[in-house]
Amino acid sequence: MFLGVREVGLLVLTWMAGQNNQSATDALKSWDGQWFLAIAGHGYADVPPNLVDAFNRRSAETPLAFFPGYPTVVGWLSDLGFLLLPSALAITVAFGVVCAYGMTRLGTIISGGSRKVGLILVALFAASPMAIVLSMAYSEAMFCAFAVWALVFVLERQWIGAGLCCAVAGLVRPTAAALILAVGLAIIVAIIQRRETWKPWVGGLVAPVGLIGYLAWVGTQTGEWDGWFALQRRGWDSEFDGGGATIKFSLEVLGNARSVLEVATVGLIVVALALLVICWRKRLEWPLVVYAAGVLAMDLCSNGLMNSKARLMVPAFTLLIPIAIGLAKRRTSTVLLTLAGAAVASAWFGAYSITSWGYAI
């Protein structure tokens, strides 16, 4: 199901790339994909100098802004003799499938869930507005795979598995902070209320190792204790501002619409916040709500590239659970039509964002 929905996205991308005199292959490795491929092929020290930050600047430390998990695995596959881009896309697809299995499991074990809910959740995730990144040389698919299995392990009280998934996710994307928060709180509650054995303690100690380890390493490389955050500020004007920049951007776009992508981004922000409230009102398992809230907070409460807001919400997949539960109660024809519509809309929007839209996502 995951691969089928994503294939629709690739077919539409191929068509739209042709309409814009572009190559679909080039589109799949655009923007951050160029950085990941360069790191995978050359390491952090030898990234080609033509790759620059948002201000067209470059220093020896600039590549460190990109987490190592995804390019490292791509590099391993490339070292076996495969070409770099096919290796990157294969890794993306493989982890997308791993993520799909995790979502099926998650949809089955939640309150009010079933295998049907899980399968619908997979389709909704594969057809989310910026799901095009789940087919690109981007790290979202890998991160979401470890995130969903960490949450599954939390609900199944497999604390060591949850901690290990958190640790690896921390090497893939900074969004792991939201995952560590959700898993960490669940572990603390388990220790206090359930008086578990030693396993929650181990899971809790392991969970932040990847994220803290990489941030500490970047600090040693830059000579600044907050080196990674400093790189984000200097290179992409990205730092926590409490949501001021997002509110300003939204008001400007609504007052003077400049593009489909920007208007849709504002709409998606509103929908995401509404779904978060619905998750809370529907009493979705609280670690899943905490995780989604953490992802949204990290995305919406920082400034930087506003055009990436929709993409950065892709990991907040637990917001889709109430929709999946609601659809599972409908007739099969209603479910199929809804998912088909979502797949086509996602395919067009994703293709538009990397072919017709001229700025970074």
Burial of 48 (0-12, 13-18, 19+ CB in 10 A): exposed
Per the CB < 8 A criterion, the answer to whether 13 and 19 are in contact is: no
The pLDDT tens digits of the residues spanning 56-98 come to 999 999 999 999 999 999 999 999 999 999 999 999 999 999 9
Classify residue 1 by burial, with Cβ atoms within 10 Å: 0-12, 13-18, 19+.
Answer: middle
Side chain identity at residue 155, one-letter code: L
Q: By percentage, how much of the chain surpasses pLDDT 90?
A: 89
Q: How many CB atoms lie within 10 A of CB 201?
A: 16
C-alpha R_g of the chain: 20
29 burial (CB, 10 Å; 0-12 / 13-18 / 19+) is buried
Q: What is the pLDDT of residues 229-259, one digit of tens each?
A: 999 999 998 889 999 999 999 999 988 877 8
pLDDT higher than threshold 80 for residue 195 = no
* 55 has pLDDT over 80: yes
pLDDT the model gives residue 360: 84
Which has the minimum average pLDDT: 95-104, 154-163, 180-189, 245-254? 245-254
Q: Which residues contact 70 (CB under 8 A, 6 or more apart)?
A: 36, 40, 91, 138, 139, 142, 172
DSSP output for 219-247 = HHHHTSTTHHHHHHHHHH---B-TTHHHH
Q: Model's pTM, two decimal places?
A: 0.96
